[in-house]
Amino acid sequence: MVQDLSLYPENACLLAPIAGHSDLPFRLSARRHGCKFAFTEMVDAGSLVFAAPKSLHLLARDPSEDFLGVQIVGSELDTLKKAVQILNEREFSVIDFNLGCPAPKVAKKCEGAAFALKKPDEAVKAFAVIAENSRFPVSVKMRILSETDPEPTVRLAQKLADCGASAMTIHGRLMKNFYSGEVFFDIIKAVAENVKIPVIANGGALSAPLYKELCRESTCSRGMVARGALGDPWIFREIAGGLPPTLEEYGEEIRTHFFAMVDFYGADLAFRICRKTLLAYLRGRGYPGSLRASVSFLNSLDDFEVLMKEVQKGPLSKVYKETGLVACC
């Protein structure tokens, strides 16, 4: 076990491991605009042990990625141990244990957020196995366990810290609320005040203003962006005080990201996967619904060029519905 209390410096802004999105092209897009700390998609420990091609593909790392964390999910102790031993053969900056995913397919196996909520003591034992067998620093991502009482969340966080966590990310919503509703900053704050490791605040950071509110209200100097980065890699630049993208930058990044996906997946698979990526770029930017709908029928490079011709006409506007702010370029 390796412990590194300087894993994340003060004011570090992390990119979350987002299932279905945090592949290599997505991370490189975010890094071009200021992201330094990023993770692979969540990897199932069992799939990793049985060498599922998709899981192994998720571990791809670019030489330019100075920091890359890998996140695993699971509950069976021997499987987690074997998965960590496989990861030890590669190079990562940290192994993160997922105790926060609320997805039904994860919850039905009593893993992710369900593991922490229903079997917290067993979740701590599972994390201890990871910590004891990892040659990298270890961390954990979890959700709050109560909206009104900080004690259950704090107690679990303290046990995980005692097992060797170098850092922990706290999503300020209950498992049942998924990604909507109020973020309970006070519960995150209580954890930060009661553990001696860095706490990363998470939840609701859909824009730079909302990210800053999350960190301010939780009193955390480190925060994590998840859905706010979908279609908006510039959020990292804006958090650092920079400006939203110009129309030219916007078009160039979409094009670069798209062709990186083609290179990474091959054209046939890329055209299927890229649709959700392109829709994320177009959402909330002032484009008509008909243009967004056309993404669903994207099947060729010619289709992509037709789409981009319309995109680059504008308008480019980003509406922060939660704050009432509008940024236009």
Taking the C-alpha atoms of residue 173 and residue 186, their distance in angstroms, rounded to an integer, is 11
Two structure tokens written together for 209:
């203003």
Where b means 16+ CB within 10 Å and e means fewer, 189-201 reads: bbbbebbebbbbb
Give alpha helix (H) positions in the chain.
24-31, 45-49, 53-58, 77-87, 104-107, 113-118, 120-133, 151-162, 185-194, 208-218, 235-239, 247-265, 267-282, 289-294, 301-311
Helix (H) or strand (E) holding 94: strand 94-99
Q: Look at phi and psi of residue 12 and say left if phi exceeds 0, alpha if psi is from -120 to 50, else beta.
A: beta
Residue 300 Cα distances to 13, 46, 59, 293, 295, angstroms: 36, 35, 28, 16, 11
Tokens representing 63?
A: 């030489």
Name the active-site residue from 13, 35, 101, 220.
101
Q: Among residues 31, 24, 68, which one has the least CA distance to residue 236?
A: 31
- List all residues 6 or more positions away from 203 whose beta carbon is below 8 Å from its beta carbon: 171, 172, 173, 183, 188, 214
Q: In the chain, what is the straight-line distance between the N-terminal and C-terminal CA atoms, in Å?
A: 48
Residue 55, phi then psi, degrees to nearest 5: -65, -40
Tokens found for residue 237: 């630049």
Residue 101 appears among annotated catalytic residues: yes
Active site residues: 101
